[in-house]
Amino acid sequence: MARPTEKAAPHQCLRLTIEYDGGKYSGWAEQKNARTVMGELRVAAEDTLHAEVELVGAGRTDAGVHARGQVAHIKFRARQAMAVEQIAAEINRKLPAEICVRRVETAPIAFHARHDAIGREYVYQISRRKTAFEKRYVWWVKEPLDLAGMREAATTIAGRHDFKNFQAQDAARPNESSIVVVESAEIVEQDDRILFRIAASHFVWRMVRRLTGTLVKVGLRDISQKDFAALMSGKPCPKLDVAAWTAPSSGLFLESVKYS
Residues carrying an active site annotation? 62
Residue type at position 95 = L
> How far is the C-alpha of 140 from the C-alpha of 138, rounded, in Å?
6
Give me the helix-helix angle, 207-219 and 147-154, nearest 10°. Answer: 140
Q: 117 pairs with which residues across the strands?
A: 259
- Give CA–CA dist 3/207, Å, rounded: 50
239 vs 233: CA distance, rounded Å: 15
**Residues 99 and 41: beta-carbon distance below 8 Å:** yes
203: nearest Cα among 182, 187, 184, 188: 182
Could you tell me if 247 and 206 are in contact, meaning their C-beta atoms sit under 8 angstroms apart?
no
> DSSP string covering 68-83, please?
EEEEEEEEE--SS---
Reduce the secondary structure of 99-131 to three states and give it as a string.
EEEEEEEEECCCCCCCCCEEEEEEEEEEECCCC
What is the 8-class DSSP label of residue 239? T
Instruction: Please state, in angstroms and rounded to a whole number, the distance separating the CA atoms of residues 158 and 228.
Output: 14
The DSSP bridge pattern shows strands 66-76 and 54-57 to be antiparallel
